[in-house]
Chain A
Amino acid sequence: MAPEPPLLSMDGITKSFPGVRALDGVDLDVQAGEVHCLLGQNGAGKSTLIKVLAGAHQPDTGTIRWLGEPVTLRSPIAAMRLGIATIYQELDLVEHLSVAENVHLGHEPTTAGFVVRGRAARASTAALLRRLGHPEIDPARPVGGLSAAQRQIVSMARALSHDVRLIVMDEPSAALDPDEVDNLFRIVGDLTADGVAVVHISHRLEEIRRIGDRVTVLKDGRAVAGGLPAKSTPTREVVALMTGRDVEYVFPARPPAAPGGPPVLQVQRLAREGEFEPLDLEVRPGEIVGLAGLVGSGRSEILETVYGARKPSAGRVLVDGRPLRPGSVRAAVRAGLGLAPEERKAQALLMLESVTRNVSVSSLSRFSRAGWIDRGAERGAARRATRELSLRPDNPAVPVRTLSGGNQQKAVLARWLLRGCRVLLLDEPTRGVDVGARAELYAVIRRLADEGLAVLLVSSEVPEVLGLADRVLVLREGRVVHTAPARELDEHRVLDLVMEGSPAS
């Protein structure tokens, strides 16, 4: 037993963002030549952790050791110099450059320091591609014309063009076909045989069993289990580790009687080519319907298509029995739909503007005559809407960017409340919202439903869907695999469904 230090060890890493503690003391150690899998639900801290590892984020506290020596990963370049390469989910390739240029980006082989030796770059790229089992990719071709799988290979080639000791892969199989996945795993096998370590992030348990050596499970920014044997730890135990919570969310009580009356929102055979398969659902006034599923299961796409922000390839959406014009947000808004999108800052908020103006933007015609805004009426209405949701601070004149995540979400809800919307579409309503503020947001959503709104909720946090919704549709890869009243489901069962696609034994 040689006391050889691990290739990489991270110790007590913490990282906070405004309002969120993304990493709360994570430990991780990776040995040379192993495939170390990172597992966790969305928001567990996986992405933040790999960004720290890639030098893209600086940890607030904690130490990183490389071969036993403490190191600071001040920048992505510093990480690369040590031999850490990261392959992100959204591949960071330059579309208009060739394969070879992408592979050598930033470290081109040169003559006299600045003349790029194109032929040498192409030759070494071709060699890397052969090693990766893809000699058919032409190093001179622009990356823009390649398939998702081929791009993945190019990213790998880029990682290998450095003297790499550790490769971090963020859900590499998400965009790949089964035989492409097989090839990827073969490559991973070759690399580890050469002593390269791989940190592999995936939602798919069966993959982890296939290629993983050890598993570290993250939950709520902590490593709840480090270095479990990947092949022999029972699924039950892994799922339990992912879901067991320290913080119990407080969910509001459901109304005693199931909501009756005709559905206000009907979705019939709605589909989008390549994103989700034909979907039927109904939401009644006072009802909260939840869509549960992981990233890539088509949740956000479904909501945005219902809202008209994406054009369906088939099917239709009806409000009060009347079909909406497909692909028209304005038709949807006019019919009484409102969307609180997943990316609040990018998709909902006017960050330079006050709360008032963010709240009133969808209802301007109500405060205006011949285009002239009655600003007193606008302020009053915005104040009433934000008060009703207990938005803090109680001053709608403040810029919306100064609010916390939870209050920014309330500003978006207030916008639709003011508009008099009847169907609320919520996409990850508590993303970026502090744990402490979530319960209040849940109470607000339930109250809006009790007042007669129909709510369609999407969340990757299973407890949230189960706790808040009346009825749950479980999605896996664009398909509804199960529908049931929320009280008949539990978290384990839903996670089994979304991860394995079949009920766990």
Chain B
Amino acid sequence: MTQHMSPPRDGTPRTAAGPAPAWRSLAARTDVRTLSLLGVLAALILIGSITKPDQFLDTRNLQLVLTQASVIGVVTVGMTFVIVSGGIDLSVGAIVALASVWATTVATQEYGFAGILFTAVVVGVGCGLVNGVLIAYGGMVPFIATLAMLASARGLALEITDGRTQIVTVQGILDLGERDSYVLGVPPLVLVFAAVTVIGWLVLNRTTFGRRTVAVGGNAEAARLAGIDVRRQRLHLYLLSGLCCGIAAFLLIVLSGSGQNTNGNLYELDAIAAAIIGGTLLSGGRGTITGSVLGVLIFTTITNIFALNNLQSDVQQIAKGAIIVAAVLVQRRTASTT
């Protein structure tokens, strides 16, 4: 066997670390990243329990935290796919607003529960379709295309509502937000979030769609030369993000019992931030649903602890900013050791 006698350097990796340590440390690092996020979350829970022992660990408060996390969480799952593919979607907040007001107009509410759900989802997917076509086939930069969508969807949402809050009168929707519909103490919104998370994880890790998403984000030229339809993949990714926005809009309607054109304000930043601290590379090619969801939970928990302690939202914003910077610095350090 000449192969076995071939120079050993052919089997030796470029890194001095050697092959086995290199991939083991990769596996270890993935774990470390998730573990460190869990650690941060645990620390936050500890802080919450110490500063407000009665209120923080109260079931109702935990239900509230999870419910609040659900809306932005669903958006973040979609955003994670887009960022892993090397793109960005700045329009998610505006799409949530447009979908929530379109689904709560008097006309839509006449069609009841199904009408509202259907409209929210279709509006979300429709906006995603426009984004996707502009980016994948129109050759527009994702940043620009979704920025344009952000502006127009917000404008359209204002146009529809004329700035008024649209109260939901459909009983089925209102009931879904009530305690009676909690399943074993878990609000239905949280169940939807959990389902989206699980499905998102499976799609990203176990399907050809997920694999192609990672390939396009990791090296679009290589993906194209490997025979992947990069443009169609990109179109589908923005459709997916739009779909998640539609679902999130529906959750928001249930949560607030209304539709408002100010809904989803700055969701794009929260979702991107959650994905980034969860370990998703902004340049694409790497990212996990688990990390993103932990990122969402961390941010929501911080907001909750600050609110319970009567701290102003400006302090909150500063804390969030600091966490983003810290997370990215840690990531760069781990990346540079690769």
Contacts and interface: CB of A to CB of B under 8 A. Distances in A.
Interface string B174-213: 0000000000000000000000000000000011110110
Contact of A348 (B2, B206, B222, B228): B222
B124 interface: no
A415 B225 CA distance: 12
Interface in A349-394: 349-354, 357, 361-362, 364-365, 368, 371-373, 375, 390, 392-393
Contacts of B219: 346-347, 349-351
Nearest to B13: A402
Interface stretch (A115-123, A329-337, A456-464, A484-492): A329-337
A71 interface: no
Contacts of B14: 18-19, 401-404
A361 B226 contact: yes
A372 B207 contact: yes
B208 A398 contact: no
B40 interface: no
A30 B2 CA distance: 45
A91 interface: no
A437 B7 contact: yes
A361 B206 contact: no
B8 to A, nearest CB: 9
Given A397-B23, A398-B22, A404 B206 contact: no
B23 A371 contact: no
A406 B285 contact: no
A247 to B, nearest CB: 12
Contacts of A407: 10-11
B206 A362 contact: no
Nearest to B208: A364
Contacts of A307: 225
B225 A434 contact: no
Contact of A415 (B2, B207, B226): B226
Interface in B1-45: 2-3, 6-7, 9-15, 19, 22-23, 26
A393 B228 CA distance: 27
B23 A350 contact: no
Q: In the complex, which of the residues B12, B225, B226 has the most CB atoms of chain A within 10 Å of its own CB atom?
A: B226
B149 to A, nearest CB: 27
Contact of B225 (A341, A352, A375, A401): A341
A446 to B, nearest CB: 13
B3 A399 contact: no
A399 B22 contact: yes
Contacts of A402: 13-15, 19, 22-23
A371 B207 contact: yes
A333 B10 contact: no
Interface in A408-422: 415, 419
A406 B3 CA distance: 12
A401 B15 CA distance: 9
A262 interface: no
A309 B23 contact: no
Contacts of B207: 368, 371-373
Given A375-B206, A404-B11, A352 B211 contact: no
A373 B285 CA distance: 19
Contact of B13 (A346, A404, A406): A404
B10 A406 contact: yes
A397 B209 CA distance: 21
A333 B285 CA distance: 23
A130 B109 CA distance: 76
A368 B13 CA distance: 31
B225 A347 contact: yes
Interface string A441-456: 0010000000000000
B227 A19 contact: no
A129 B332 CA distance: 45
A371 B229 contact: no
A348 B227 contact: no
Contacts of B19: 393, 395, 398, 402
A352 B22 contact: no
Contacts of A437: 6-7, 9-10
A92 B10 CA distance: 35
Nearest to B284: A352
Interface string A167-193: 000000000000000000000000000
B224 interface: yes
Contacts of A230: none
A105 B258 CA distance: 58
A399 B211 contact: no
Given A352-B286, A353-B218, A399-B23, A434 B10 contact: yes
Interface in B252-301: 285-286
A329 B208 contact: no
Contacts of A415: 226
A398 B207 CA distance: 21
Nearest to A440: B6
B130 interface: no
B136 to A, nearest CB: 15
B215 interface: yes
Given A364-B208, A392-B11, A402-B23, A350 B227 contact: no
Q: In the complex, which of the residues B26, B215, B218, B222 has the most CB atoms of chain A within 10 Å of its own CB atom?
A: B222
A347 B22 CA distance: 23
Interface in B214-268: 214-215, 218-219, 221-229
B6 A436 contact: yes
A160 B9 CA distance: 45
Contacts of A346: 219, 221-222
Contact of A329 (B13, B211, B224): B224
Contact of A373 (B2, B206, B224): B206
Nearest to B206: A373
Q: In the complex, which of the residues A352, A373, A399 has the most CB atoms of chain B within 10 Å of its own CB atom?
A: A352
Contacts of B23: 354, 397-399, 402
A436 B3 contact: no
Given A346-B221, A347-B222, A361-B228, A19 B9 contact: yes
Interface of A: 18-19, 307, 309, 329-330, 332-334, 339, 341, 346-354, 357, 361-362, 364-365, 368, 371-373, 375, 390, 392-393, 395, 397-399, 401-404, 406-407, 415, 419, 434, 436-437, 440, 443
Which 3 A/B pairs are nearest by Cβ-Cβ distance? A392-B11, A333-B227, A402-B13
26 contacts: A307-B225, A309-B224, A330-B229, A341-B225, A349-B219, A350-B214, A350-B218, A350-B222, A351-B219, A352-B218, A352-B286, A353-B218, A362-B228, A373-B207, A373-B211, A398-B19, A399-B22, A399-B23, A399-B26, A401-B14, A402-B14, A404-B9, A436-B6, A437-B7, A437-B9, A440-B6
